[in-house]
């Protein structure tokens, strides 16, 4: 009799679970979705996210409400996202460097790459090394040769991952570059155009300046669409920066939510308003399915680990 009661109880529990699952099935989303953007309003990522949220709302039939949570190089907003309830109603629009390089190199950060479900890729920041016309070099190879013959070449130092990659290249090529501290792209641009630095890292801001700036090398796995003759760091050194951005969610969201969000992103990147934003900032569309997005992240972690160890960011 006792055995029968146990079996009955287990059957009731299983039935209850199937009813809960059935109640969710087909109903998502039944309320507004929060999209966290870990950057301040007005920046490139936040602007993209605002337009993307409206396009996704059309596809999902519910509002997608943007909440900016800036700070810590994206870590504050990403911490909030990672610790949100994994029910599909909190998502984050973010560049994957925030979810890979930062937790890899900063022990104080309270999230890991594995805390996220990578839902769908959207676009790609155009990470590169840049200079200006009129210099005695127009490629990274020429810059390195010039640097060896002419010590004292200056580079804009924006810290973090970009500094690590520049130091990695310098170490591989056995060159010394003088770092000039720079507070982000807003200060880098006048430094470069004004001749205070000889070359710099760019996450894509150079594309606004047309022929006033030149790409020496892509720091992505691929060459840049607008600079196809400049080789990538993947080709040259077997490492690359994480340039993709997209939608992520806390690990463990229901499969229906993941699939519907993935489908919404796929359609939303072709939304006319979102297309206009990408055309204005000159970033390419780069849709990635959940599976492909995760593969990119896995490959990225291998590159970043190699760079971080070679430059002392991790032991």
Q: Of 237, 270, 302, which residue constitutes the final position of a domain?
A: 237
* Interval 136-162 mean pLDDT: 96
Instruction: Measure Cα distances from 206 to 16, 226, 246 in Å.
Output: 57, 11, 22
Domain co-membership, 72 together with 205 = no
Residue 13, token pair as written in the block: 């529990």
Could you tell me if residue 16 is inside a domain? no
Whether the pLDDT of residue 130 is over 60: the answer is yes
Q: Are residues 66 and 167 in the same domain?
A: no
pLDDT at 25: 55
All residues at 6 or more sequence positions from 292 whose CB lies less than 8 Å from its CB, including other chains: 121
Model confidence over 42-101: pLDDT tens digits? 989 999 999 999 999 999 999 999 999 999 999 999 999 999 999 999 999 999 999 999
- Angle between the N-to-C axes of helices 290-310 and 160-173, in degrees from 0 to 180, rounded to the nearest 10: 60
Is residue 101 within 8 A of residue 247, CB to CB? The reply is no
Residues 50 and 109 in one domain: yes
Instruction: Dump pLDDT digits (tens) for 189-229.
Output: 999 999 999 999 999 999 999 999 999 999 999 999 999 99
- 187 and 272: one domain? no
Domain holding 176, by residue range, is 128-237
Residue 147 CA to residue 178 CA, distance in Å, equals: 10
> What would the two tokens of residue 272 be?
């006319």
Would you say 60 and 27 are in contact if contact means Cβ atoms under 8 Å apart? no
The radius of gyration of the chain's CA atoms, rounded to the nearest angstrom, is: 22
Give the mean pLDDT of 249-272. Answer: 98
229, part of any domain:
yes
Continuous segment of H or E residues that includes residue 244 = strand 244-250
């Amino acid at each position: 009799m006792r055995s029968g009661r146990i079996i009955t109880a287990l059957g009731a529990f299983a039935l209850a679970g199937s009813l809960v699952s059935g109640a969710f099935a087909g109903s998502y989303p039944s309320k507004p979705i929060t999209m966290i953007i870990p950057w301040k309003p007005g920046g490139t990522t936040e602007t993209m996210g605002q337009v993307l949220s409206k396009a996704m709302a059309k596809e999902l039939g519910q509002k997608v409400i943007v909440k900016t949570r800036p700070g810590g190089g994206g870590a504050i907003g990403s911490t909030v996202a990672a610790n949100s309830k994994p029910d599909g109603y909190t998502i984050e629009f973010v560049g994957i460097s925030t979810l890979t390089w930062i937790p890899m190199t900063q022990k104080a950060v309270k999230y890991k790459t594995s805390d996220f479900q990578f839902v769908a890729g959207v676009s790609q920041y155009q990470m590169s090394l840049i200079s200006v016309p009129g210099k005695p070099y127009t490629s990274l190879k020429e810059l390195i040769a010039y640097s060896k013959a002419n010590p004292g070449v200056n580079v804009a130092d924006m810290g973090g991952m970009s500094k690590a990659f520049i130091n990695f290249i310098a170490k591989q090529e056995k060159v010394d570059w003088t770092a000039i501290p720079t507070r982000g792209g807003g200060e880098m641009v006048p430094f470069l155009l004004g001749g205070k630095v000889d070359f710099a890292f760019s996450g894509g801001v150079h594309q606004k300046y047309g022929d006033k700036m030149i790409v020496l090398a892509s720091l992505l796995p691929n060459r840049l669409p607008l600079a196809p003759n400049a080789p990538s760091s993947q080709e040259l050194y077997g490492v690359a920066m994480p340039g993709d951005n997209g939608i992520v969610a806390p690990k463990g969201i229901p499969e229906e939510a993941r699939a519907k969000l993935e489908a919404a992103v796929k359609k939303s990147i072709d939304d006319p308003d979102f297309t206009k934003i990408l055309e204005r900032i000159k970033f390419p569309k780069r849709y990635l399915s959940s599976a492909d997005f995760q593969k990119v992240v896995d490959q990225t972690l291998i590159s970043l680990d190699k760079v971080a160890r070679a430059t002392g960011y991790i032991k």
